[in-house]
Amino acid sequence: MADPPPTLRNRKTAISEPQQPESPDSKKEDHIPQKTPQTGFLAILFLILGVLGLLGVAGAAAAYIYYQNPGEYFWIVPPPPWEAVPGDTEWVVDFSADVLKRDAVVAAFKHAWSAYERDAMGDDEYHPITRKGSNLTAAGGIGYTVIDSLDTMLLMGLDAEYARARAWVADSLTFDRDANFNTFETTIRVLGGLLAAHELTDGDDLYLERAVALADRMLPVFDTPTGLPLSMVNLAKRVGVADADNHGLVSTAEATTLQLEFRYLGYLTDNLEYWDKAERVMKVVRQARLPNGLTPIFMSPEHGKFMTSEIRLGSRGDSYYEYLLKQYLQTGSVETVYREMYEDSMNAIHENLIAVSNTRKLTFTKELHPQRLDYTGQNTWVRALKQDHLVCFLGGSLMLGATTAGALTPPSVPPTSAELTPAGRRDWTTGIRLIETCVDTYRTASGLAPEIVHFRENIEKGSDWFIKGARPPGEPPVYDARYILRPETVESLFLAWRLTGNPRYRQYGWEIFEAIEKHCRVPGGGYASVLNVEQVPVVWEDKMETFLMSETLKYLFLLFTDDSVLPLHEYVFNTEAHALPIFSPSVRTGFS
Ligand SMILES: *[C@@H]1O[C@H](CO)[C@@H](O)[C@H](O)[C@H]1NC(C)=O
C-alpha cells in the first residue's frame, strides 16, 4: 500500500500547497503521549520513592518533571463546563434585520458580480486585477461562477442580475466538454447551485433539466469495484478518471460530499439511481471504520479501505463530518444511521483531535500524521498543531449538531443545558470555543485570517498561534499567510447567530466584512485574495474565488437579514452554501 504523497491539492483550489522552508519555530510535531492509567500512579510512586531516597536523585527528578509538566505526560481533555459564550451573560434575542449592514453586503455582492459580468461573463473563474476570465479547462467553461452565484442573487432580490444569469444558463450553458473535471467541486458548485436555484425559484424546470444533464454525465464515476467515486470525470466522454496525482486514491471528503446533492436529485426526479449510488458510498465508509473511530483523508476505490494518511478536519477531511450531520437533517432526522456515524465521529474528534493553546487556552483542532519510525515498517502517529481556515466550519457545525442530534427536545434559543444530551452539551461548548479561536485568527494587521495557523500547546512560550515560516513584510510571503476570501468562519458565525441570537456574532461578522471591504475590494470592480494577512498595505493575488459570491457574501447577508430567510429547520446548506430543502422521502431511507 503506497502512502499518498506529501503534496496535496487544497480543497476548493487547484493550487498545490508548496513546500515551505522550516523555521526554527516550526518543529511543532511530537509523539502522542500514551494515555495510560498507570502514569498517575507512577507519578505518585516516583514521588514517594524519591522522597524515601530509594531512587535518590533520579526518583526525585522524575517526580519533579511530572509535577511541573503534567500536560506532557497526561493527554486529557477535561469535559468542558457548560457555558453560553465566554465572557457573556445575557442578551436580548432579536432576529430582525440589520438593514444597513445587510444592504452593505448586497452592495459588495453587486461590486463583485458586475465586474465579473462586465469582463468575464460565462467564464468559470475571474481575475479582478487583469479583468479577465478563465476556464477550468481548455475545453470551455461549465458555468462555475454563474451557477454558483444564482441562489445568492435570488436571496438578495437582485432581479435584473438574476435574469441575465438565468438567460446565460438557458442559452449558453453546456456540459459537453471533453476534459477532466473534479467530481467533488463540480457537484458542490454546479449541481448544488442548480438544485438550489430550482428550489428558490419554486421549481424552475430549467435548473432541474440542467441538473439531470450534469448528473447523468457524472454517474460513471461511481463505477468502481466498491462504488467509491473516482476523483474526476470527463463530462463529454462520460467516464470517471482516477486521480493520478494521488495514486488513484479518493479523498474521504470528496467521496462523501456528494450525497446531499445526489439524494435530493433522486428525490426530485424519482430516479433512485442517484440516491443509491451516493448512499452506497456511505455504507463503504461505515464498513471501513477504524477501531478509534478516526477518519483518514484517503480511501482506496479498489477495496474500500482507509489508506494510511493524515487525519484532520481540514482539506480532504472537513465536509465528511459536515455531511454526516446534514444527511441526517436533510430527511427530517429519520435516518439514524447518519446520527450514529456523526456521534461516533464527534466522540473520536473530542478524544483525539481537540486541543487547547498554551496561554489564552484557545480551543483548536490538531492533525495526526502517520510516520514510519522504526525498522519494522510500523506506522506511528505524530501530531501537528496545525489548523486550516477550512476547519472553521466546525464550530457552527458542532452547534447545529448539538441543537439537533444532541437535543432531547426542540431547544430554546439559545438552548438551555437541560435541553441537550451530554454529548450535545460537550459539542455546543466546543463549537462556541472553536468559533472564538477562528475569530481570533482574524486579529492580524489586516483583520483577515491566514489560510493555515499553527498553535502552541502546554508550556511552550510565545503567542498562542502563529503563521509558520512567516517572513517580514516585503519578503515573498509563505503560502499559509494568505486569505483567499474563504467563508468558513462567517458560515459558523451565521449558524451561531441563528442558534443563540447573541449579537456578538453579528459584531464579529461585521468586523470581518469591514476587513474584506478595506483590503480585498478592487476599486475597478471585484475582490482579490490577499497574499499576506500581516502586511498592510496588502499585496493582492489576481483571483476572486467563486465561493466569495456563493458562500462568504451569502452567509454575511444571512447574518444581517431577518430569520425568516432560510430557517434552519427547513433547509440544509451544501458545503458550497447552496440552500437545499429538508424533505420527507417517499422511499425507504437509511441503511444498515
Ligand atoms: C471559456 O469557455 C467559453 C465556452 O467555451 C468560451 O466562450 C470562453 O471564451 C472561454 N474563456 C476563456 C477566457 O478562454
In short, whether 174's Cβ falls inside 6 Å of ligand 1 is: no
How far is residue 122's CA from residue 200's CA, in Å, rounded to a whole number? 21
User: Does ligand 1 have an atom closer than 6 angstroms to the CB of 33?
Assistant: no
Does the Cβ of 134 fall within 6 Å of ligand 1? yes
Could you tell which of 127, 130, 135, 174 is best to mutate to test the pocket of ligand 1, judged by most ligand atoms within 8 Å of the CB?
135
Q: Are strands 379-384 and 367-372 parallel, antiparallel or unpaired?
A: antiparallel
Buried b (16+ CB within 10 A) or exposed e, 366-390: bbbbbeeeeeeeeeebbbbbbbbbb
- Residue identifier of the C-alpha nearest atom 12 of ligand 1: 134
Q: What is the pLDDT of residue 51?
A: 63
**All cell numbers assigned to 367:** 492533525
**Distances 75 to 293, 347, 350 between C-alpha atoms, Å:** 18, 16, 12
Instruction: Give the closest residue to 458 by CA, choosing from 361, 367, 353, 381.
Output: 361
Query: What is the whole-number distance in angstroms between the Cα of residue 119 and the centre of ligand 1?
Result: 12
pLDDT for the residue numbered 188: 98
* Structure confidence at residue 69 (pLDDT): 42
Which pLDDT belongs to residue 587?
Answer: 76
Ligand 1 geometric centre to CA of 134 (Å) = 7
CA distance 546 to 575: 13
**Ligand 1 centroid to residue 124 C-alpha, Å:** 8
Distance CA 455, CA 26 (A): 10
174 is known to lie in a ligand binding site: no
- CATH class name, domain 6-33+72-581: mainly alpha
pLDDT, block means (10 residues), the chain with 592 residues = 37 35 38 47 66 58 46 36 54 95 98 98 98 98 98 98 98 98 98 98 98 98 97 98 92 96 97 96 96 94 94 93 98 96 97 96 96 72 95 98 96 92 95 97 98 94 95 89 98 97 96 98 98 97 98 98 98 98 88 76
**Ligand 1 atom closest to the CA of 139, numbered from 1:** 5
- Ligand 1 in contact with 143 (CB < 6 A)? no
Instruction: List the catalytic residue out of 199, 367, 464, 488.
Output: 488
pLDDT of residue 55: 53
Give the global pTM. Answer: 0.86
Where helices occur in 172-258 by DSSP H, the ranges are 183-185, 192-200, 205-218, 252-255
The single residue of 419, 451, 551, 576 carrying the catalytic annotation is 451
User: Grid coordinates in use for 233?
Assistant: 470525470
- The three cell numbers of residue 579 are 440552500
Ligand 1 contact, 131 CB (< 6 A): no
Give pLDDT, residue 589. 81
Ligand 1 pocket test: pick from 123, 130, 134, 144 the residue with the most ligand atoms within 8 Å of its Cβ: 123
Residue 37 CB-density burial (10 A; 0-12 exposed, 13-18 middle, 19+ buried): exposed
Q: What is the CA(177)–ligand 1 centre distance, in A?
A: 11
Active site residue 148: no
Specify whether 488 is catalytic: yes
Give the amino acid at 251. S
Has 185 been annotated as catalytic? Answer: yes
> 153 CA to middle of ligand 1, Å?
23
Residue length of the chain: 592
